Amino acid sequence: MTGLLVALSLLMQGMLSRALELDLSSREDVCHFTNEIQKGIMDYYWGSQYGGIVGMFQPPYYWWEAGEVFGGMMENWYLCDNQEYEKVLRESMIAQTGDKYDYIPSNQSTTEGNDDQGVWALFIMGAVERNFKDPEVKDMPGWLTMVQTVFNKMEARWDSEHCGGGLRWQIFQWNNGYTYKNTIANGCLFQLAARLGRYTGNQTYLDVATKVFNWLLDVKYVVLEDQGRVYDGAHIHENCTDIKGIEWTYNHGIILAGAAYMYNATGGSAEWEGHVTKILAGAADFYFRDKIMYERACQDYGTCDNDQRSFKSIFSRMLAITSVLAPFTRSTIDELIYTSAAAAAKSCQQGRNGYTCGMNWQKGEYDNVYGLGEQASALEVIQNVLIHTKAPPLTANTGGTSEGNPEAGLDHDSQPTILSGKKNMSGKDRVGAALITALSLALMLGCALWMIF
């Protein structure tokens, strides 16, 4: 028994030393460490097991979080040239496309929100920008086409009747939150438009991105003071004035990176440089303590739910890509990423392989809070110390190969074609069309009666 205890003690010490000795300057070390973290992520994935659903993690983790986590794993595939989970990523991307390739699969068709769809689209856009090979499935479109499908579907839901614009949180009227317009749904549309505009060179996407961003400013979900603030949302019955003042890392990150994409796509415009500068200043001030990232709204109180415990993952990704697309931010962001990565690594000291990670990175040790969100957050902040070792996100002109279709997902009979200028019929047009249809039917009926009699 004594020998067993000694062996276990030595094993635990070895696990601890592995976490504490992570060399962030060593690509090999970082890639090994993050691959071990991904093994912990896969403990929550049943898609490869009998009875599991491909592309979804086990309860209590929702569908949207799969898109968030896979987005981080896609970056690991790229940054570390890690093919271990390439099959899982590809199968998940294909399995969850939905019949219309709009990432509204049948298992989410009555519950999915605009934010859920948007987060998955950001994941797929990452595949486009990293040249993750298009699906080799008969008649299945390329990843770019699928992102354009989602964009067109989301943009068609733009609601100008309430609050002067904006997307609702929910897609379907029967879901709780349909009367709420939130930042994450609109932030996803903003960033998708900015990324598509940068990737394709199509100005119309950039115009949509500008429209969404200006609306966020108008309703004061985004406030551009010296230190920019990003709030959660408000209700349409109050004309979006009852702003929920809570602030989350993922909202801030989505808006920040969207602005960085716009800065890059516009050739470094002074306007977008100013926006990026202020939004980053707010992020650095609000979500870091001693330069270590934390979820300020809930972490210190122990009230973070499963969703909120994952927000630092996408925030880390967005910070890192901002430092690439807007190089003037690099020195600020690199310090935040490196300090947070070192702290996150120290939280990864438990589990069967010694890489189960905690939530509170400021403790300098494992805090006994674990789950999918903790693994994903540690993965993303640690792997992003490598962000400047690889090429920036591709565009169609710099080597991107995914097949696209700017009109994918558009219903030409009932909604405007944003990228071709087609409009909905006006009321007078509909009356005229109805009259012509009625006259045509009457003429056909008359001819038929004449032939009979």
- Confidence (pLDDT) at 418: 55
Q: Is residue 318 within a helix (H) or strand (E), and if so which, with residue range?
A: helix 311-325
- pLDDT band with cut points at 50, 70 and 90 for residue 335: very high
Over residues 224-250, the mean pLDDT reads 97
Half-sphere exposure of 69 (CA within 13 A, CB side): 33
Look at residue 216 and give its three-state secondary structure: helix
Could you tell me where the DSSP H helices lie in 157-223? Answer: 183-200, 203-218
Encode 162-182: b = buried (16+ Cβ within 10 Å), e = exposed: ebebbbbbbbeeeeebeebbb
- Confidence (pLDDT) at 423: 36
The predicted-structure confidence for 101-128, as pLDDT tens digits, reads as follows 999 999 998 999 999 999 999 999 999 9
Q: Chain-wide mean pLDDT for the chain? A: 90
**Which residues, at least 6 apart from 272, have a Cβ–Cβ distance to it below 8 Å?**
259, 262, 263, 266
Count the helices and strands in the chain (H runs, E runs).
Answer: 14, 6
Give the whole-angstrom CA distance, residue 344 versus residue 375: 10
Burial of 444 (0-12, 13-18, 19+ CB in 10 A): exposed
Beta strands 233-235; 180-182: pairing state? antiparallel
User: 63-79 and 27-42 helices cross at what angle (nearest 10)?
Assistant: 160
Residue with tokens 């169609």: 396
Q: Is residue 17 within a helix (H) or strand (E), and if so which, with residue range?
A: helix 2-20
Measured CA distances, 45 to 63, 194, 356, 362 (Å): 12, 32, 15, 28
**Is 297 within 8 Å of 248 (Cβ atoms)?**
yes
* 3-state per-residue secondary structure call for 251-267: HHHHHHHHHHHHHHHCC
Measured CA distances, 190 to 84, 233, 256, 270 (Å): 32, 15, 11, 19
Longest dimension (CA), the chain: 108
Tell me the percentage of the chain whose pLDDT exceeds 90: 83
User: Is 327 a residue whose pLDDT tops 70?
Assistant: yes
Residue 107 in tokens: 């298992």
Give the whole-angstrom CA distance, residue 158 versus residue 176: 19
Domain count, the chain: 1
Q: Considering only residues 438 and 403, tell me which one the structure prediction assigns the higher pLDDT.
A: 403
Over residues 189-208, the mean pLDDT reads 99
Residue with tokens 């630092």: 312
Residue 307 in tokens: 């969703």
User: Is 440 a residue whose pLDDT tops 80?
Assistant: no
Over residues 88-109, the mean pLDDT reads 97
User: Is 56 a residue whose pLDDT tops 90?
Assistant: yes
The predicted-structure confidence for 253-282, as pLDDT tens digits, reads as follows 999 999 999 999 999 999 999 999 999 999
DSSP class of 36? H
The predicted-structure confidence for 410-438, as pLDDT tens digits, reads as follows 986 554 545 644 333 333 333 343 433 44
User: Is 395 a residue whose pLDDT tops 70?
Assistant: yes
Give the whole-angstrom CA distance, residue 229 versus residue 199: 28
DSSP class of 345? H
- The domain spanning residue 410 has which CATH number? 1.50.10.20
Count the Cβ atoms, other than its own, within 10 Å of residue 220.
13
- Confidence (pLDDT) at 445: 42
Give the amino acid at 241: T
- pLDDT band with cut points at 50, 70 and 90 for residue 354: confident
**Is 236 within 8 Å of 165 (Cβ atoms)?**
no
User: Is 352 a residue whose pLDDT tops 50?
Assistant: yes
Find the domain containing 12 and state its range.
2-452
Tell me the percentage of the chain whose pLDDT exceeds 70: 86
Residue 114 in tokens: 């605009």
Check: pTM over 0.85? Answer yes or no.
yes
Residue 330 in tokens: 């690099």
- Confidence (pLDDT) at 113: 98
